[in-house]
Structure 1
């Protein structure tokens, strides 16, 4: 039986998953928006987000589970339950809209603990370049369903963009590193994906 790592407070994680049997999770533009609204409702309570991308049939997130002193403890459930609630709420709405039933996401959702800052930086590059790797665009700035543009924006956001940019030293290096040719297969091997 597969061992599933517990999500621990104060730790960084790469959370990712795909549609069951490779099916699309997002078939219309407003699906992406709806998922992000649910994400804010369920996940912002228990985790800080540093990078994300929503692809038609999968997603990647870079999060840090909040410490106990950062969370309202009234009625607190284990962190994985908030992710499950997000996926279940989205599946229910998606199924109703598309007149389908059954699971939408693979179970359990994937999670990989992140131990060092170098890995964090590489993971941000991997996440933001995922649409490039899958031929949806030629540059991360061209894809609207990732946190890349939010990292460069001055608009208010719940994304922890300042810390994300600090991993790259500054915005100039952030852009430079993202625009370099990223060998995704090499990153996947290095990241253990």
Structure 2
């Protein structure tokens, strides 16, 4: 049984295609998923990091606190994620003339409680393409929030807060250069 997503808490949200099915075949797939993420998730969560891979994805989010005026009408955070996955599956199935589930169920989530874990999970998410040997550095991969953290362009990512988690931009960059123990992080995430 998976834990409910609690307001005010940080979570690493991740999932993959059912039976390792490809989730993103082309640029439009990535873009559409991110648009749906904005529609379904931005109202209920703040995003600190994300990475979309061919057959899986990772997000680090903080579920927003309930405001007093929205307590009765609010959707459960886990329902918002389910709505995202259902909307994307419907569009993907229509586009590729397929049917059935696209994502594994239930989606995975790991609560992150401490600042060092926040740093490790952000670096882990951004370095996922490096870990999977798609590129040599996260700056080379388009479908993650790494570039948004470096940029000064407007973004929905909580860039200022992310950089503060690392103390400053130089430490953010240096931490991402270090070879992390990805197996240790993956084992911790799975527990």
Q: Alpha-carbon deviation of 1:188? A: 1.9
Q: Give the corresponding residue for 1:185.
A: 183
- Aligned residue for 2:88, secondary structure, equals helix
Q: Give the corresponding residue for 2:129.
A: 131
Alignment check: 8 A CA contact 1:123 1:191 kept: no
Q: Give the corresponding residue for 2:5.
A: 7
Alignment check: 8 A CA contact 2:46 2:62 kept: yes
Q: Alpha-carbon deviation of 1:73? A: 4.7
Q: Give the corresponding residue for 1:41.
A: 39
Alignment check: 8 A CA contact 2:18 2:104 kept: yes
Alignment check: 8 A CA contact 1:119 1:191 kept: no
After the TM superposition, which residues 56-135 of structure 1 pair with which residues of structure 2 at under 5 Å, given as runs?
Answer: 56-69=54-67, 72-73=70-71, 75-135=73-133
Alignment check: 8 A CA contact 2:110 2:189 kept: no
Q: Give the corresponding residue for 1:24.
A: 22
Structure 1, unmatched stretches of 5+, are none
Alignment check: 8 A CA contact 2:50 2:59 kept: yes
- Deviations, residues 90-120 of structure 1 (Å, cap 9, x unaligned): 0000000000000000000001111111111
CA RMSD of aligned residues (A): 1.5
Alignment check: 8 A CA contact 1:13 1:112 kept: yes
Q: Alpha-carbon deviation of 1:56? A: 0.4
- Aligned residue for 1:68, secondary structure, equals coil
Provide the TM-score with structure 1 as the length reference: 0.95
